Structure 1
Amino acid sequence: MHRAYHKWFSPVLNREMELLVFGERGLPVIFFPTRSAHFYDLENWKVVDAMQQKISAGEIQVYCVDSVDQESFYSNASADRKIVRHMQYESYILNEVVPLVKRQNKHRSLAAAGCSLGGYHAVNIALKHPNIFNKVVGMSARYDLTKSLEFFADLFNGYFDENIYYNMPNHFVPRITDKKLLNQLGKMDITMVVGREDSFLPDNEKLSYSLNQIGVGHQFHVWEEEAHKPRYWREMVKLYL
């Protein structure tokens, strides 16, 4: 399995960023890491190994990107600065990583995927940019970071603004009315997977309901148990990517 390492100074983030690429052709997948994890963790957790057959066969090419969660959602910054840093991260993905993918891979489609907070990153960016992404797979993800759960805090401590609204799928998706955007979303291959005992199940159910209400087809799979660990994600990527 071909493996390549990339590192460059990101102007938008004002710091060096790293990523790993597995494979040389096929559907390119930008794979986001879990909360505060890094570009190499999916390889260390054998999630990449679980995709090896598809990668080696040229079905998919996987771009494992790094995160800046410790500088955004999980930083000590004020809530308004947290979301701004997150938006800078998305700008890095759209304006630096996506062009790299396009230079290396001439496939007409592009996918986003992620587990846990990485699933949030994938689904959030894909639903906002269906002109760029054609497929998204969110595994064990949370789609409203403003809501307190039993073991998970409101990451903005009650603060809410327009930037936060447009980065929380469970807030902006139910209110999508633009016909062009709805048409683009309707063509996207959307998959959400979560465990029956996962704290994020209600978030997934709400997003699935909202997508149905606006007429956007998708797949929604509920696994037994919590299913919020690498050993489950290794099985999920085989089925849904």
Structure 2
Amino acid sequence: MERAYHKWFSPTLGRYMEMLVFGSEGIPVIFFPTRSAHFYDFENWRVIDAMKDKIIAGSIQVYCVDSIDSESFYSDAPPPLRIARHIQYEKYILNEVVPFIRIQNKKRELVAAGCSLGGYHAVNIAFKHPALFTKVVGMSARYDLTQPLPFFADLFDGYFDENIYFNMPNHFVPGISDPCLLQQLRDMDITLVIGREDTFLDNNRHLSDSLHQLSVPHQFYIWDDEAHRPRYWREMVKIYL
């Protein structure tokens, strides 16, 4: 399996960012890491190995990007700066990672995928830019980071503003009314996967219900147990990516 390491200084983020790319052709997948994890963790957890056959066959090409969650959602900065840093990260993906992929890969399709907080990143960016992404897979994810849950705090300490609203799928999705945007969402291949005992189950149900109300087709799968560990993600990626 072809493996390539890339690193460059991001003018958007003002720091170096790293990435691993697996495969040389196929539909490109931007794979977001879990909470405060890094670009190499999915390889270490053998999640990439679970997709090895698809990668070698040229069905998919996987771009494992790094995260800056410790500088945004999990930083000690005031809440407005936390969400501002996240928005910078999204701009890095859109303005640096996507053009890099377009140079490497000529496929029209583009997939966003991730597990846990990476699933949030994938769904949030894909739903905000449905003209860019053709498929999204969110696994074990939380789609409202402002909602306190057992063992998971409100990541903005009660603060709420427009930037937060437009970066929480469970907030902005129900309010989508633009016909063009809705059609783009309806054309996207959307998959949400969550464990029956996962704390984020109701979060996922809420998003699924919102999509139903907007007549946006999607797949919503509930696995047995919590299903919030690499051993489950190894099985999920075989099925959904």
What is the TM-score normalised by the length of structure 2?
1.00
2:178 maps to what in 1? 178
TM-superposed deviation, 1:35: 0.1
Counterpart for residue 39 of structure 1: 39
**Aligned-residue offset at 1:34:** 0.1
User: Which residue does 2:94 correspond to in 1?
Assistant: 94
Deviation at 1:26, TM superposition (A): 0.5
Q: What corresponds to 1:80 in structure 2? A: 80
Report how many residues are paired: 241
1:59-118 deviation line (CA, Å, top 9, x unaligned)? 000000000000000000000000000000000000000001000000110000000000
Q: Aligned partner of 2:140: which letter?
A: S
Residue 51 of structure 1 and its aligned partner are, at CA, apart by 0.3
Q: Does 1:188 align with 2:192?
A: no
Give the structure 1 partner of residue 214 of structure 2.
Answer: 214
Q: What is the identity, as a one-letter code, of the residue corresponding to 1:92?
A: Y
One-letter amino acid of the counterpart of residue 16, structure 1: Y
Question: Aligned-pair distance for 1:200?
Answer: 0.2
**Rounded Cα–Cα distance in structure 2 between residues aligned with 1:215 and 1:174:** 11
In the TM superposition, what is the alpha-carbon distance from 1:144 to its structure 2 partner? Answer: 0.1
**Distance in 1 separating the partners of 2:115 and 2:214:** 25
Q: CA offsets per residue over residues 149-171 of structure 1, 9 Å max, x none?
A: 01100000000000000000000
- Hey, what's the Cα distance between the residues in 2 that align with 1:85 and 1:173? 22
The 2-side partners of 1:143 and 1:225 are apart by: 20
Quick one: distance in 2 between partners of 1:108 and 1:144? 30
**Offset of 1:16 from its aligned partner?**
0.2
Quote the residue 1:9 is aligned against: 9
Shift of 1:239: 0.2
- Please say if 1:237 is aligned against 2:230: no
Superposition TM-score, scaled by structure 1 size:
1.00
SS in 1 for 2:141: coil
Q: Aligned partners of 1:103, 1:150: CA distance in 2, in Å?
A: 43
Corresponding position of 2:199: 199
SS at match of 1:28: strand
* Partner amino acid, structure 2, of 1:84: A
Deviations 1:4-34 (A, max 9, x none): 0000000010000000000011110000000
Give the match's secondary structure for 1:222: strand
Match of 2:138 in 1: 138
Q: In 1, distance between residues paired with 2:150 and 2:6?
A: 38
1:165 is matched with 165
Q: What corresponds to 1:109 in structure 2? A: 109
Residue aligned with 2:88, SS: helix
Q: Matches of 1:183 and 1:99 in 2, distance apart?
A: 24
Gaps in structure 1 of 5+ consecutive residues: none
In structure 2, the partner of 1:149 is 149
- Secondary structure of the residue aligned to 2:4 is strand
Q: SS in structure 1 opposite 2:20?
A: strand
User: Does the residue aligned with 1:12 lie in a helix, a strand or coil?
Assistant: coil
Q: SS state of the match for residue 30, structure 1? A: strand
The corresponding residue for 2:128 is 128
Q: Alpha-carbon deviations, 1:162-184, whole Å to 9, x = none?
A: 00000000000001000000000
> By how many angstroms is 1:46 displaced?
0.2
Q: Counterpart amino acid of 1:119?
A: G
User: Percent identity, aligned pairs only?
Assistant: 72
Amino acid in structure 2 at the alignment position of 1:176? I
Supply the distance in 2 between the matched residues of 1:130 and 1:105 (Cα, whole angstroms): 19
Q: Helix, strand or coil: the match of 1:150?
A: coil
Q: Which runs of 4+ in 1 moved over 3 A?
A: none
| Shift of residue 196, structure 1, vs aligned partner | 0.1
SS of 1:191's equivalent in the other structure is strand
**Aligned: 1:48 with 2:19:** no
